[in-house]
Every structure is written in C-alpha cells, then in structure tokens.
Amino acid sequence: MPARSDITYFGAGPAALPTQVLQTASQALVDFQGTGLGIAEHSHRSAIATKILEEAKADLASYLDVPEDYEILFMQAGGTGEFSATIYNLVGAWVTRKQQEAEKAGADKAKVQADLKKQVDEQLKLDYVVTGGWSLKAYQEACRLLGPEHVNLVADARTINDGKFGKIPEESTWQLSQDPAMVYYCDNETVDGVEFPKFPEALAPKADGTGPIVVADMSSNILSRRIPIKNFSLIFFGAQKNLGSTGITVVIVKKSLLPPVCPQPSPTLLRQLGLPIGPIVLSYEIIAKNNSLYNTLSIFDVYIAGLVLKKLLASFPDKVDGQEAVANKKAKLIYEALESHPDAYRIVPAPGNRSRMNICFRVIKGGDMDAAEKAFLEKSKQQGLEGLKGHRSVGGIRASNYNAVPLEGAEKLAKFIGQFANE
C-alpha cells in the first residue's frame, strides 16, 4: 500500500489538504488542547468555538487584505446553496433600495407598495455571465426561483466555441442590464478549466465609486491570487478546494448590504410583490447577526480552515502574493509540458482563459483518445499521480492544481507528461 508521501493528489474536490494540517487536526479530533474532548464534541456556543471562529475570520481578512467595511460569514449548503442565497438576499437588497428611494420622495405607504410592484414586474433583473458548468447552474437556479423574465444572460461562452465551454466572450459583446440586482460570474470554472485572467473591466466601479453589484463564485481559486475585493459586493467560496474540508462555505459581503443600512424586506412585503422568501439559514442578515452561529456550525471544519490559513500566513510573509507566485509557477510548468507535445495532447480552453487551478486537456496520442486517456490514467497512477480523471460531464484529463499541491508534485506531473508523450 502506498504511503501518503508517495501520492500527489490532483482531485478537483474534495481536494488535498496539507499533511501538517491533517496531523494537527487528527490529534484535536481526539483531544483538543488537553480538554479531554475532541474539537467536534465541543459546543459551537462555547468560548473555544468562538475563539476558533474569530481567529479564522481574522486570519482570512489578513491573508486577503479584506477591508473593514466587509463582513465575513461562515455558512453551510456549499457553493450550490449560494446560488440560491445570493438571489434571495440581493433581490431583497434591491427591493429595500427601491423602497427607501420611494419613501425619501415622500410617497405614502400605498403608493410605495404600488410603485414597488410595478418596478419588480418591469425592472427587476439579475445578470449572469455564463462561462462554464457552474455559472450555468447558477443561472438556471435564478430562472427557477424568479422566472426567466427576471434573469438576463449577459453572455454565453458556448455561442463562440461551437456549443462548448472553453472561452470567455469579449467584454464588448456583453449585454448588461441597467441597474440589475446583481451581476454574477464564476471566477474559475473547475469542469471546463476556464479562469478569468483578471477582474472584468466591464464591471469595474466608476471614478465616483458607483457601479454594479458584482457577485463572484471563487470556490476553486480563492487564496491563490490577490483579489480587488473593493470591486465586489459579495464573494463566496466553498472550503473544499483551497481552504479546508467539505462542510462550510465562506461569504465576504459588503456591510452596506446588511442592516442597519440595508435590512431585508419583510416576508409579508415579498409575498405581496410575488417574490420568493428564502430559508432563514441562507439569510446573510440572520447569519451576520448571530456571528455565523444561528444554527450548529461545524467548528471542526472551521478549525481546519483556520489551520490552513495559519500555515499560509507562516509560509508567505507577503501573504497571498507569495502563494500566487507559487500557483503561477506550478501552472506554467504543467502547461509548458503539454504544449511541448502537441501531437500527444490538446489543451481544452483557449490560451487567454486557461485556469491555473484546473488544467483540462485531452490525450490524442495514437488517434484513439479513449484508449490513450485510459493508458495515461493507469500509468500516472503507477507514478503516484492521483485524481487526474476529468469531470464526468466532459471526460478527458483534469489536473487540479490547488494550493496544497506542492511544487514538487507539479514538477512530477510535468515530467510524466513528457515521458508518456515520448513512449
């Protein structure tokens, strides 16, 4: 049986975790700091749990340089749950903003409600930039919850790539709504290996600070590069790629979208406007008010995330910039190995949109792609290179190059890519 040190795991998620983190966590699972109880047994209301939660928030804010006017929430239901949560919360924020504008104008209660209903029916839009499988799922969820009449497809990458994902449409072709409740995009698409190279200029705030409410799913590339957080109203990410273990989801949200500035509309008003009412566990207002402890949060998962953050901060004095340099170097090694053998490999996404986190390619050596990829997976496994099979919906090979994959692991894969091509 192979030892852990013999394996480099390139799975897309749940992803690899640093061995040091797992060793510390395994001890804490049995007896946390001499308390006689494991970390998973301590109450989420205890002083121990509160300290773990506050340290994780502080370390995340430090590592990413999160500004003070943003709130960090630990939630559940994964990134998929956030497809719905962003809709419920940001539609609510849009309604509150319109209500406040009408009340400032001096309209009476009946007129305010009539105007709100008219604006919901005629103006409410959510914008989605669809560049891969996950942003497509988010778009579909918006259509399901609100109705397609309230959802605007800003761009669909399949229309410029023969019906497949793999490119990001030019921003000049994007069809943005006027005053949408949010503009949503996925910064890195794990299935299709597509990553935005930088923040979209079409969504950048204006000189006066105004601009669209931008929401980004960063589940698979968070902590791997510097983010212009001030350009976003909300960022969310599941922990199980670069942050920790499956079970928690992090939301970084502008405090201006939370009370007292922006309280959510009452359920009665939402019903009168014909809008859906979200589950209370997906309410940012409720989660923020209760310090992420409205219901039983998995403190063990928060603890693992905190250990990962402490390791990153200890490893990189320049914080996320240091990890970004390593991530870029690893990706460059693997892509250059693939590009060196064009007769054996075909990289799936276009050059300007290639993900540093999920490197997707096909093995075309010998003309029989299925047989070649089967051989590639079998022989890579013999080398201790695990988790390279592509997503079930698209097939192929996918090397998920997350933070816990060491530079030596990327070098090992790059070497194998060359060896297999030359056999």
Q: Is the dihedral of CA 306, 308, 314, 318 positive or negative?
A: negative
**Cα gap 2→406, rounded to integer Å:** 18
Query: In this structure, are strands 194-195 and 188-189 parallel, antiparallel, or unpaired?
Result: antiparallel
Contact 234, 389 (CB under 8 A): no
3-state secondary structure of 303: helix
Q: Which residues are the active-site residues?
A: 134, 217, 241
Which residues, 6 or more positions from 254, have their beta carbon under 8 angstroms from its beta carbon?
69, 70, 71, 232, 233, 234
Contact 71, 262 (CB under 8 A): no
Residue identified by tokens 């070649």 is: 372
Beta strand ranges found along 182-221 (DSSP E): 182-186, 188-189, 194-195, 214-217
Contact 204, 175 (CB under 8 A): no
Count CB-CB contacts under 10 A for residue 364.
16
Contact 407, 8 (CB under 8 A): no
Give a three-class secondary structure readout of 57-125: HHHHHHHHCCCCCEEEEEECCHHHHHHHHHHHHHHHHHHHHHHHHHHHCCCCHHHHHHHHHHHHHHHCC
CA distances from 314 to 225, 245, 310, 394 (A): 17, 20, 6, 38
Which tokens go with 100? 């406040």
Contact 189, 195 (CB under 8 A): yes
Which residues, 6 or more positions from 11, have their beta carbon under 8 angstroms from its beta carbon?
386, 387, 400
Contact 15, 220 (CB under 8 A): no
Closest CA to 258 of 220, 288, 223: 288
**Cα gap 126→142, rounded to integer Å:** 8
